[in-house]
């Protein structure tokens, strides 16, 4: 197994954060990211960047973190009991973008590496990440473009990779208590160390580099569409599902909170405004119902 080059990973991730922030600021044209550099008391730190009240993006957070510690939290050792008793470090870029226009979907992306070590033993390391899309009003051409780009990110690494990571994404971003997906999926992978460091690092870079290629054309196509209070109200209601998933199921959120991470950086993924409604269902035949009937059904968008 090839040796881990943590310096190269850090250089790539910090550059990725810079590139994504510059690109989103340019498209928004009305707001800039504010950066908070922070240190974690238990070890490490990061830089959190938040764009708020933009012309296109109501709120967006793009965070880089590199943290380490002596003992892993229960969320990690429950998933991988072989990690118990090892000191660890985790590094990644994570982002969530909440648009202003309800016809523009929310998007999420994350690329990361994790290493756990102890004297006299081989280090345990893996990459994880992916990206997924959460529309409020679905468009078939947007879903097809998103998944075509996701497939292009995977294709250099094997013909089976996209289908595997798409299925994993559909299964992971699923609200069990609602019995519904969070959105139309994309890519999700974890525990990746097959083929050695260079291959896995290459796949992580490809996923990171394809995020803007997948998202920006959709934003550009939808951001000037006319909408009213009905669409805005539905957007805020559906954002509640995003909050529920992040606080109940998301591994990254649970790991960050349980490992003593910076709360503001962990929760900057949450939308600035959201609504919940008791036992609400859309009227049959409406555009809102189409989201449930068509777009929140896992399917082969490239068929």
What residues contact residue 258 under an 8 Å CB cut-off, 6+ apart?
A: 73, 74, 75
Element (DSSP H or E) covering residue 6: helix 6-28
Q: Cα separations (Å) of 2 from 124, 187, 192, 200, 245?
A: 12, 25, 13, 10, 36
In sequence order, which residues have a C-beta less than 8 Å from that of residue 165 and are 6 or more positions away? 130, 150, 154, 187, 188, 189
DSSP 105: P
Catalytic residue among 19, 79, 87, 108: 108
Would you tell me the crossing angle of helices 161-172 and 140-154 to the nearest 10 degrees?
120
Q: How far apart are CA 43 and CA 71, in angstroms?
A: 12
Torsion region of 61: left, alpha or beta (phi above 0 gives left; psi -120 to 50 gives alpha): beta
Contact 219, 23 (CB under 8 A): no
Question: Is the separation of the CB atoms in 271 and 239 below 8 Å?
Answer: yes
177 is catalytic: no
Residue 153 tokens read as 């990110």
* Spatial contact of 100 and 56, defined as CB atoms under 8 Å apart: yes
Which residues carry out catalysis? 108
């Amino acid at each position: 197994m090839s040796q881990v080059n943590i310096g190269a990973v850090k250089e790539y991730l910090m550059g990725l954060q810079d590139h994504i922030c510059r690109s989103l600021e340019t498209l928004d044209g009305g707001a800039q990211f504010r950066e908070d550099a922070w240190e974690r008391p238990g070890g490490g730190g990061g830089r959190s960047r938040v764009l708020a009240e933009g012309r296109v993006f109501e709120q967006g957070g793009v965070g880089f973190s590199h943290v380490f510690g002596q003992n892993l939290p229960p969320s990690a050792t429950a998933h991988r009991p072989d990690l118990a008793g090892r000191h660890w470090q985790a590094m990644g870029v994570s982002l969530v973008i909440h648009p202003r226009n309800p016809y523009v979907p929310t998007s999420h992306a994350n690329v990361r590496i994790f290493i756990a070590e102890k004297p006299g033993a081989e280090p345990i390391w893996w990459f994880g990440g992916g990206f997924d899309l959460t529309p409020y009003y679905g468009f078939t051409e947007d879903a097809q473009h998103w998944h075509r780009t996701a497939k292009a990110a995977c294709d250099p690494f094997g013909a089976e990779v996209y289908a595997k990571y798409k299925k994993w994404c559909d299964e992971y971003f699923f609200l069990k208590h609602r019995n519904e997906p969070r959105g139309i999926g994309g890519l999700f992978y974890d525990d990746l160390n097959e083929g050695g460091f260079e291959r896995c690092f290459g796949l992580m870079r490809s996923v990171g580099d394809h995020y803007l290629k997948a998202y920006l054309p959709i934003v550009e196509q939808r951001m000037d569409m006319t909408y009213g209070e009905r669409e805005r109200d539905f957007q805020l209601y559906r954002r509640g599902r995003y909050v529920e998933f992040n606080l109940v199921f998301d591994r990254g959120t649970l790991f960050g909170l349980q490992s003593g991470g910076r709360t503001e950086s962990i929760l900057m993924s949450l939308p600035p405004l959201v609504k919940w409604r008791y036992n609400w269902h859309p009227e049959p035949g409406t555009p809102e119902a189409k989201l449930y009937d068509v777009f929140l059904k896992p399917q082969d968008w490239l068929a």
